[in-house]
Amino acid sequence: MAVVIMLAAVSCTRQNPEDLKEKTAQATAEMRRDAKAVASGVREGWSEAKPVDLNTATKEQLMSLPDVSATEADRIIAGRPYNRPGDLVTRHILSAKEYGRISDLLKVR
């Protein structure tokens, strides 16, 4: 009798593979939406904050910019001084795509 109850319990907890795939796809879509919302919030927060001065910012301040790695921060610091933020691209310190992600968060004094 106990074996029958155990088998019944196990068969009830098993999920149809298609149901499992659908639930996984839904969870993945929710995670993507949440990640996009977080990224949007970070960008909004930066836009309200003071822009980072390329000529005086610390490595940590540069790394706090979206998608700026330690290596990129080091390259930015090594390329100082800058006359304008766009110098990052013309001097091949950042690609145009990388620069585009942070351009509105930069300034030069």
In angstroms, rounded to a whole number, what is the distance separating the alpha carbons of residues 22 and 20? 5
**Which CATH class for the 52-107 domain?**
mainly alpha
Query: What is the rounded (10 degree) CA torsion for 24, 25, 26, 32?
Result: 110
What does the pLDDT look like over 1-34, one tens digit per residue? 655 555 555 555 567 888 878 888 888 888 888 8
What does the pLDDT look like over 33-50, one tens digit per residue? 887 777 766 666 655 578
Q: Which residue has the higher pLDDT, 69 or 4?
A: 69
Q: Which residue has the higher pLDDT, 14 or 65?
A: 65
In angstroms, rounded to a whole number, what is the distance separating the alpha carbons of residues 76 and 102? 13
